[in-house]
Amino acid sequence: MNDTIKLPEDCTDMRDVRRGVDATDRELMKLLERRFGYMRAAARIKTDRNVVRDEARKQEVIRNARDEAEVAGLPSDAIATLWGDLVETSIAYELQEWDRLRS
C-alpha cells in the first residue's frame, strides 16, 4: 500500500484526500501539543492566578486568526469561533496547570 501523502491539488480520489486529512490532523495534534506546552509554561511563570485570563490578549489572538483566515481565503468567522474555543480551552488548561503546580 502506498502511504504517500499528496498535496490537495494532486489528489485524484477520496483515498488520497482521506490520507491527507488524517496526516494533517496528526500534524495539528502535534501543534496543539506544543501550544498547550506554552500554556504549561505560562502557568509556571505567572505568579498570580488572577492574571491567567487576559481578555485583551484573548481578543488579539482571535483577531489575528480571523485576519490570517481572511488572507488565506478561509471562512474567517468560523475560524474566529474555532479560535475562541481554542483560547477558552487553553485558559481552562492553564488554570488547571496553575493549580496543579501550586497544590
What's the domain range around 80? 8-102
Query: Is 35 labeled as ligand-binding?
Result: yes
| 49 in any annotated domain | yes
| 3 in any annotated domain | no
| 36 in any annotated domain | yes
Instruction: Give the pLDDT mean for 87-95.
Output: 98
pLDDT of residue 1: 45
The DSSP string of 9-57 is GG--SHHHHHHHHHHHHHHHHHHHHHHHHHHHHHHHH-S-GGGS--HHH
Query: Is 46 labeled as ligand-binding?
Result: yes
| 1 in any annotated domain | no
Instruction: Give the pLDDT mean for 3-16.
Output: 94
pLDDT of residue 4: 86
Over residues 15-62, the pLDDT tens digits come to 999 999 999 999 999 999 999 999 999 999 999 999 999 999 999 999
| 33 in any annotated domain | yes
CATH number at residue 68: 1.20.59.10
Domain count, the chain: 1
| 2 in any annotated domain | no
Burial of 37 (0-12, 13-18, 19+ CB in 10 A): exposed
Among residues 33, 38, 43, the alpha carbon closest in space to that of 96 is found at 43
